[in-house]
């Protein structure tokens, strides 16, 4: 089964945005710092998320991104689909040419599994992920770590 970094990172970034929903626009630099995802990669992902109307960009000082709709109306499958990612358990990437250009014996099984996974992800919204205790604990830890990093006093430098 393939769900590449692109799909995983998009879901992670969107969950980060959802966790911080209500704090105003969130910069990609903040998401990058908290989640360890390269800023340039996030820019590419968010261009796709914006085209699919999952996020809105806010320009200017204090700008960034915010969710385009409520957390209970954004599903993991929509996020994965928006970045041109698919969850595919087939050996042939769904092309039905698994065995020398022909459909293999188990193609339908793996194709059905792929559909079940997509349906599973389509039943999980960002709000339900935020409610999970583990997600809240990780978000709190990331916030504390970032606060320590931001509050470290600058060292004095002799001139």
Q: In whole angstroms, what is the distance from residue 129 CA to residue 44 CA?
A: 24
The predicted pLDDT at position 39 comes to 95
Can you list the alpha helix ranges (DSSP code H) found in 2-158? 5-19, 28-35, 39-51, 76-82, 107-122, 126-131, 133-151
pTM for this prediction: 0.83
More confident of the two residues 36 and 87: 36
More confident of the two residues 4 and 36: 36
The predicted pLDDT at position 94 comes to 79
- Domain ranges in the chain are 5-86+125-138
Nearest 5°: the CA angle 36, 38, 84 is 105
Could you say which of 1.10.10.10, 1.10.20.60, 1.10.357.10, 1.25.40.10 is the CATH number of the domain covering 5-86+125-138?
1.10.10.10
Per-residue pLDDT tens over the stretch 99-141: 888 889 999 999 999 999 999 999 999 999 999 878 888 888 8
Per-residue pLDDT tens over the stretch 5-49: 899 999 999 999 999 998 999 999 999 999 999 999 999 999 999
């Amino acid at each position: 089964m393939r769900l590449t970094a692109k799909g995983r990172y998009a879901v992670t970034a969107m969950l980060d945005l959802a966790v911080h929903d209500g704090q105003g626009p969130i910069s990609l630099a903040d998401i990058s710092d908290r989640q360890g995802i390269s800023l340039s990669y996030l820019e590419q992902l968010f261009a796709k998320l914006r085209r699919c109307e999952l996020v809105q960009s806010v320009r200017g000082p204090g700008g960034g991104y915010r969710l385009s709709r409520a957390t209970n109306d954004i599903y993991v499958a929509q996020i994965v689909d928006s970045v041109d990612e698919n969850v595919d358990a087939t050996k042939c990437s769904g092309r039905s040419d698994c065995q020398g250009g022909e459909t293999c014996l188990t193609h339908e099984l793996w194709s059905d599994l792929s559909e079940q996974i997509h349906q599973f992800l389509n039943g999980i919204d960002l709000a339900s992920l935020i409610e999970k205790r583990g997600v809240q604990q990780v978000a709190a830890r990331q916030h504390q770590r970032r606060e320590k990093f931001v509050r470290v006093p600058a060292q004095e430098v002799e001139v």
